[in-house]
Amino acid sequence: VLDAWYIAAHSHQLKRKPLPVTIHGTPLVLFRDDEGSAGCLLDRCPHRNVPLSIGKVVEGQLRCGYHGWRFDRGGRCTHVPALVGVSDKRSRCAAAYPVIEQQGFIWVYMRPGAEPEQGPYTFPITEGEPGYLVVRRTVQTAGSLHMVAENALDVPHTAFLHGGLFRTEEARGEIETEVRRWHDRVECEYIGEARPSGIVGRLLSPSGGVVVHHDRFFLPSVVQVEYSIGTENHVLVTAFGTPVDAYETQLHAVVAIRTRFPGWLIRPFIQPLALWIFHQDRTVLRLQTEAALKYGSAHMASTDVDLLGPHIMKLMRRAERGDLGPVRTEPRIKRGRMLV
């Protein structure tokens, strides 16, 4: 899915030094010109192929560390130091990628020279939203974008892999599920769910109440988990997945929480807990990735309670083909039952 915007870095990460990043296996370099606008070039000098990221920013241009060639944000070669004559020739251009800075992230459009019609994804709740504690966190793990997205939105594994934190294996009850798929996204609503047992549930919904729970995936790579418990408590975790390469994924998460507890009280618990959960997920994702590489194909025996994974795969494959099918304003709906 190259015709899409991906998060390349946090805005605060890009200062005076060029910043190398890798998206979809492509080495890129970010830098800022004299006005502070971010640029993104292929991280490879057209002259002798060394990474431009070992160079410096000089007069708002990126200067290669080997022979001193300079490039502007558009990839134009503006200066070849030893050369008598014109520097700016087509063959000396560096591939330049569209860049937008938005909501504290630097987004790169993964087709060089493109003029994208739409902007990047907008996170629904960010810092400053009244009543919310908002925390950002970027993590990286082995795993294809699909493996990571499926894992993030999968309910059944929580009782085993994260046993005791969310759900427990004993005392299961049956709930209803409703999966809704549009041309570019899919969501699942879990109906009749009790307040999650375990530590997480108690922490995030002290007052209890009716649980409304949705898990969502939007193309190209947004995963979202939303809990409303009673009228007071609202947890919205939205994470954007950037594929580093076919088997390594970054998740840029924005976590928004509104509970009876003040933010300063919750904050110290959220981070360590989230990282502990992520650590467990990262272990199985690494093993799943190794299996995919070892066995060549990733045969998967899905069941009716693999609610979102197969749909996410379908959406991704359509996006890769460049054809999402007709726009759906009303979703296809599939109801089912699950033990949680």
Q: CA-CA distance, 274 to 258, in Å (whole number)?
A: 17
User: Under rule CB under 8 A, which residues in 229-268 are in contact with a copy of itself?
Assistant: none
Asked if residue 277 binds a copy of itself (CB under 8 A), the reply is no
CA within 13 Å, CB half, 250: 16
Asked if residue 27 binds a copy of itself (CB under 8 A), the reply is yes
Q: Which of 13, 124, 160, 276 binds a copy of itself (CB under 8 A)?
A: 160
Q: Give the interface size with a copy of itself as a residue count (CB under 8 A).
A: 54
Pairing of strands 133-142, 19-23: unpaired
Q: Please, which residue, 53 or 233, has the CB nearer to a copy of itself?
A: 53
Q: Which of 10, 15, 17, 172 binds a copy of itself (CB under 8 A)?
A: 172
Only one of the segments 30-38, 127-135, 301-309, 313-321 lies at the binding site for a copy of itself (rule: CB under 8 A); that segment is: 301-309
Cα R_g (the chain), whole angstroms: 23
Q: Please, which residue, 123 or 190, has the CB nearer to a copy of itself?
A: 190
Asked if residue 269 binds a copy of itself (CB under 8 A), the reply is no
Only one of the segments 9-17, 98-106, 167-175, 241-249 lies at the binding site for a copy of itself (rule: CB under 8 A); that segment is: 167-175
* Residue 306 CB, nearest approach to a copy of itself (Å): 8
| φ/ψ of residue 129, rounded to 5 | -65, 125
- State the burial class of residue 258 (Cβ atoms within 10 Å of its Cβ: 0-12, 13-18, 19+): buried
* Residue 76 CB, nearest approach to a copy of itself (Å): 13
| φ/ψ of residue 311, rounded to 5 | -65, -40
Asked if residue 67 binds a copy of itself (CB under 8 A), the reply is yes
Please choose, from the candidates 217, 199, 196, 204, the residue with its C-alpha nearest in 3D space to the C-alpha of residue 153.
217
Bridge partners of 35, per DSSP, are none
Q: Which of 13, 88, 302, 314 binds a copy of itself (CB under 8 A)?
A: 302
Q: Which of 20, 60, 104, 156 binds a copy of itself (CB under 8 A)?
A: 156
Q: Which of 24, 137, 157, 183 binds a copy of itself (CB under 8 A)?
A: 157
Please choose, from the candidates 71, 69, 149, the residue with its C-alpha nearest in 3D space to the C-alpha of residue 112.
71
Read off the DSSP letter of residue 145.
H
Q: CA-CA distance, 266 to 276, in Å (whole number)?
A: 16
Q: How many Cβ atoms sit within 10 Å of the Cβ of residue 47?
A: 16
CA within 13 Å, CB half, 218: 14
Q: If you search the block for the tokens 């990262």, which residue do you land on?
A: 282
Asked if residue 106 binds a copy of itself (CB under 8 A), the reply is no
Q: Which of 2, 50, 277, 324 binds a copy of itself (CB under 8 A)?
A: 50
Residue by residue, DSSP assigns 62-128 as EE-TTT--EE-TT--EEE-TT-SS----GGGPPPEE-EEEETTEEEEESSTT---SS-----SS-TT
Q: If you search the block for the tokens 């004299």, which residue do you land on?
A: 34
Asked if residue 284 binds a copy of itself (CB under 8 A), the reply is yes
Asked if residue 84 binds a copy of itself (CB under 8 A), the reply is yes
Q: CA-CA distance, 196 to 199, in Å (whole number)?
A: 9
Q: Which of 1, 31, 44, 219 binds a copy of itself (CB under 8 A)?
A: 44
Asked if residue 316 binds a copy of itself (CB under 8 A), the reply is no
* Residue 165 CB, nearest approach to a copy of itself (Å): 15
Q: Which of 34, 118, 231, 294 binds a copy of itself (CB under 8 A)?
A: 294
Read off the DSSP letter of residue 196.
P
Alpha helix ranges (H) inside the chain: 145-153, 158-161, 198-204, 263-295, 309-321
Asked if residue 47 binds a copy of itself (CB under 8 A), the reply is yes
Q: Which of 291, 317, 321, 332 binds a copy of itself (CB under 8 A)?
A: 291
Contact residues for a copy of itself, defined by CB under 8 A: 27, 44, 46-51, 54, 63-68, 80-85, 91-92, 154-157, 159-161, 169, 172, 174, 283-284, 287-288, 291-292, 294-295, 298-305, 336-340
